Amino acid sequence: MFFSGVAKTHHRRIIEPIQYQEINLMTLHVLVTQEKDQAGKTWWIAQCLQYDIVAQAKKLSDLRHEFMRTIVGRIAICAEKNIDPFKGLPEAPEECWKMFEEASETLEKKEIPIRLPDSLPSSFVLPKSEMRMAC
């Protein structure tokens, strides 16, 4: 499983609760596009706009899960190291923001079953995401 390597130490200090509250309240804007790799296989791409973070999936139906898994993985790893998970990450390129604004189709919002690692407090809630297709 994705989070099987997360250490289970009880004495470590994790991200301060106020930072978790900010993450819990944020809405991530995500541009969805389709791209072909060198072998000609089609991939769905999820590009976060506030932070230059990308996830991909072979099927559109799996993309939201893969994106949230990427976000949670980053947060969990940073919690282990006691660092802000988004500090220093640039925004996505301006062209992605324009494509997002022009996109008319929004992907359906649905619950994402992701197991949260033990390093995150029980009060942690996945950030919301608004995903728009630019295909």
CB half-sphere exposure, 37, CA atoms < 13 A: 9
What domain range includes position 96?
A: 17-107+123-133
Establish if 44 belongs to a structural domain: yes
Q: CA 100, CA 98: separation in Å to the nearest integer?
A: 5
What's the pLDDT at 113?
Answer: 63
Helix (H) or strand (E) holding 131: strand 128-133
* pLDDT tens digits, 77-100: 888 888 888 888 999 999 999 999
Count up the domains in the chain and report the number: 1
Establish if 57 belongs to a structural domain: yes
Q: CA 46, CA 67: separation in Å to the nearest integer?
A: 7
* pLDDT tens digits, 12-49: 333 444 355 566 567 889 999 999 999 999 999 999 99
What's the pLDDT at 36?
Answer: 95
Establish if 96 belongs to a structural domain: yes
Could you tell me the CATH number of the domain that includes residue 23? Answer: 3.30.160
Establish if 12 belongs to a structural domain: no
Strands (E), 6-53: 27-36, 42-48
Parallel, antiparallel, or unpaired: how do β-strands 42-48 and 105-106 relate? unpaired
Establish if 118 belongs to a structural domain: no
